[in-house]
């Protein structure tokens, strides 16, 4: 089976073609191309939806043709066309999904509607044997969720952010330190320049609460107040380091509670870390140690598959087609808000 996937939910225009030779085989990337809009949005300190939509519209067709050429296959050899249909920015979702629907209609092939978050979670299964159920922590610019993946299309959210997503907290912290966008790689680099300390005594919201929910708005406010006064380079690095350690401690504490809770209810063998923030080396290493402590297999995609990409969309399309053996309705409209519990 060969599936072409399209990802346009935010500020990346991405197209990928994935092949799965037999059901239950791993996926093989025939070709993939991603155009980042970071430089265009950087001067605004964040994503401008109208600008993102215009860039998707200007580049998607050329990027698709390039990817098909690099895959060295005829368009008619593609078995289905998959696209992100939510959650995300409506303009980008419309452009990507309508383009995929057009390809499906013209070539008389199935159209596969993919939830962006589901793509992040499932992409680890493209190269590793990961059986359901498993526990997953999804960390991205728009979402922070602890969930149990019970099957391809069955998820139970057991904890989530009550306000800001962790990715947004990274972005806002970098901005408060007078650095650019996106904040994740910037904070990680700054943090590596200083040793661990508790110089600023940052708060850890909800870390001792009995539930598994997160909150990062208070931490973000503390950072903003600290940076109201000028900080030298050393203090900026120290603050970045303390911020990174602070949020990681919160994530680990909540995840450890989740592991203990789930182990009482079912056999738990696997923990999957997913989403753009999962590319952070410090966070990856700490979660690897946590899973070793509880004898749980730890999986996290390679860094390029943590950020938004069409490989994960094409792979989720393959999994969906294997399960349902049919096209999604062309009347299925994009959903800027789309919970994993309502697939």
How does pLDDT run across 53-75, given as a tens digit for each residue?
A: 999 999 999 999 999 999 999 99
Angstrom CA distances, 167 to 142, 172, 307, stand at 7, 9, 11
> Domain check: are 181 and 94 in the same one?
no
How much is the average pLDDT of 230-254?
Answer: 97
State whether the Cα torsion 314-320-324-327 is positive or negative.
Answer: negative
Q: How confident is the prediction for the chain on average, in pLDDT?
A: 96
Q: Tell whether 14 and 137 lie within a shared domain.
A: no
Read off the pLDDT of residues 165-201 as tens digits, 9 standing for 90 and up.
Answer: 999 999 999 999 999 889 999 999 999 999 888 899 9
* Residue 334, pLDDT above cutoff 90: yes
| Weakest mean pLDDT among 41-45, 133-137, 211-215, 270-274 | 41-45
Q: Which ranges in 108-182 belong to alpha helices (H)?
A: 116-122, 166-176
Same domain? 99 vs 75: yes
How many residues would you count in the chain? 343
Q: Are residues 187 and 45 in the same domain?
A: no
Token pair for residue 175?
């901005």
Evaluate the CA torsion angle 304, 305, 307, 313 in order and state its sign: positive
* CATH number of the domain bearing residue 178: 3.30.420.40
Q: Give the pLDDT confidence score for residue 42 in this predicted structure.
A: 80
The residue range of the domain holding 110 is 2-124+305-342
One domain for residues 120 and 89? yes
Residues 5 and 82 sit within 8 Å (Cβ to Cβ) = yes
Q: Would you state the pLDDT for residue 195?
A: 87
- Judgement on whether residues 150 and 260 belong to the same structural domain of the protein: yes
Q: Do 26 and 91 reside in the same domain of the chain?
A: yes
pLDDT at 45 over 80: no
Residues 170 and 288 in one domain: yes
Quick one: 320 and 211 in the same domain? no
Contacts (Cβ under 8 Å, ≥6 apart) of 108: none
**pLDDT digits over 125-137, tens only?**
999 999 999 999 9
CB 220 within 8 A of CB 173: yes
Are 267 and 283 members of one domain? yes
Instruction: State the chain's maximal CA–CA distance in angstroms.
Output: 62
User: Looking at the structure, do residues 80 and 30 belong to the same domain, yes or no?
Assistant: yes
Give the number of domains in the chain. Answer: 2
Instruction: Name the DSSP class of 296.
Output: -
In whole angstroms, give the CA distance from residue 138 to residue 284: 12
Q: How far apart are CA 151 and CA 320, in angstroms?
A: 11
49 and 190 inside one domain: no
């Amino acid at each position: 089976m060969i599936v072409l996937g399209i990802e346009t939910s935010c500020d990346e225009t991405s197209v990928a073609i994935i092949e799965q030779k037999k059901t239950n085989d791993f996926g093989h990337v025939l070709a993939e191309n991603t155009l980042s809009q970071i430089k265009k949005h950087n001067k605004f300190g964040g994503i401008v939806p109208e600008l993102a939509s215009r860039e998707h519209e200007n580049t998607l067709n050329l990027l698709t043709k390039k990817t098909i050429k690099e895959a060295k296959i005829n368009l008619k050899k593609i078995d289905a066309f998959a696209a992100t249909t939510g959650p995300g920015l409506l303009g980008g979702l419309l452009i990507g999904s309508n383009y995929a629907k057009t390809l499906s209609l013209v070539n008389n092939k199935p159209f596969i509607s993919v939830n962006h978050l589901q793509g992040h979670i499932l992409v680890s299964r493209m190269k590793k044997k990961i059986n359901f159920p498993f526990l997953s922590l999804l960390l991205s610019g728009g979402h922070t969720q602890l969930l149990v993946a019970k099957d391809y299309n069955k998820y139970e959210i057991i904890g989530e952010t009550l306000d800001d997503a962790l990715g947004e907290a990274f972005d806002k912290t970098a901005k408060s330190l007078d650095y650019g966008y996106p904040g994740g790689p910037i904070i990680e680099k700054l943090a590596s320049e200083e040793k661990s300390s508790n110089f600023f005594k940052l708060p850890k919201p909800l870390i001792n609460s009995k539930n598994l929910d997160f909150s990062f708005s208070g931490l973000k406010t503390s950072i903003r107040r600290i940076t109201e006064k000028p900080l030298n380079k050393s203090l900026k690095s120290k603050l970045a380091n303390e911020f990174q350690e602070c949020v990681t401690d919160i994530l680990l504490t909540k995840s450890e509670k989740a592991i203990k809770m789930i182990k009482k209810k079912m056999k738990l063998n696997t923990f999957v870390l997913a989403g753009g923030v999962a590319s952070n080396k410090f966070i990856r290493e700490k979660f690897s140690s946590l899973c070793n402590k509880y004898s749980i297999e730890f999986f996290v995609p390679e860094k390029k598959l943590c950020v938004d990409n069409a490989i994960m969309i094409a792979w989720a399309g393959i999994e969906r087609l294997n399960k349902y053996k049919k096209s999604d309705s062309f009347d299925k409209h994009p959903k800027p808000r789309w919970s994993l519990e309502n697939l």
